[in-house]
């Protein structure tokens, strides 16, 4: 049984989310900061009149901060019918993955990174970390 994943990078690692959860991919959206919001909430984005929360996945996954001169890209996903923007470093391709390639999260990952993953797919030459979108936006 195979499925398709939209891939993106964070801190040099390849992540993916199920293509069915993705609404669209965006670049260079203006974010409005929210005073006293948790660090994971990077702000609000106005997408054609609809206001979305932007979740900084680097903060969420305890990764180092993004270089200030690097503009994050956004993967807009739907969780329980609501759109949420995930801030990522770069957007990759849509890849087909097979259940045979799936494994539990690698032991090298710990803490939050591990909790927010469904597992990993072994692709040719690299590991695709499958993000649990509902957990990633809930935290």
Nearest of 8, 40, 27 to residue 129 by alpha carbon: 8
List of E strands, 39-125: 41-47, 50-56, 73-79, 82-88, 90-98, 102-103, 117-123
- For residues 114 and 91, the answer to whether their CB atoms sit within 8 Å is no
Instruction: Report, in angstroms and rounded to the nearest whole number, the Rg of the chain calculated over CA atoms.
Output: 15
Judged by average pLDDT, the poorest of 7-21, 88-102, 106-120 is 106-120
Arithmetic mean of pLDDT over the chain:
91
First CA to last CA across the chain, in angstroms?
A: 30
What structural domains does the chain harbor? Answer: 2-138 (2.40.50.180)
**pLDDT cut 70: percent of the chain above it:** 99
Distance (Å) of CA 110 to CA 39, 47, 65, 117, 119: 20, 34, 18, 11, 13
pLDDT in tens, 55-83: 999 999 989 988 877 789 999 999 888 89
State both tokens at 51: 């206001």
Phi then psi dihedrals of residue 133, to 5 deg:
-60, -40
User: What is the separation of C-alpha 108 from the centre of its chain, rounded to a whole number of angstroms?
Assistant: 19
Mean pLDDT over 42-65 rounds to 93
At 55 the pLDDT is 94
pLDDT band at 96 (very low <50, low <70, confident <90, very high): very high
At 20 the pLDDT is 93
């Amino acid at each position: 049984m195979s499925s398709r994943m939209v891939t993106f990078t964070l801190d040099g690692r390849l992540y993916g989310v199920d293509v069915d959860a993705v609404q669209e991919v965006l670049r260079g959206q203006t974010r409005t900061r929210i005073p006293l919001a948790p660090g994971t909430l990077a702000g609000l984005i106005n997408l054609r009149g609809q206001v979305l929360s932007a979740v900084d996945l680097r903060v969420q996954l305890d990764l180092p901060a993004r270089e200030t001169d690097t503009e994050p890209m956004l993967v807009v996903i739907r969780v329980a019918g609501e759109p949420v923007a995930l801030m990522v470093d770069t957007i990759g391709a849509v890849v087909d993955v097979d259940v045979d390639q799936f494994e539990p999260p690698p032991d090298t990952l710990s803490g939050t990174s591990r909790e927010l993953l469904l597992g990993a797919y072994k692709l040719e030459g690299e590991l695709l970390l499958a993000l649990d979108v509902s957990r990633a936006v809930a935290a």
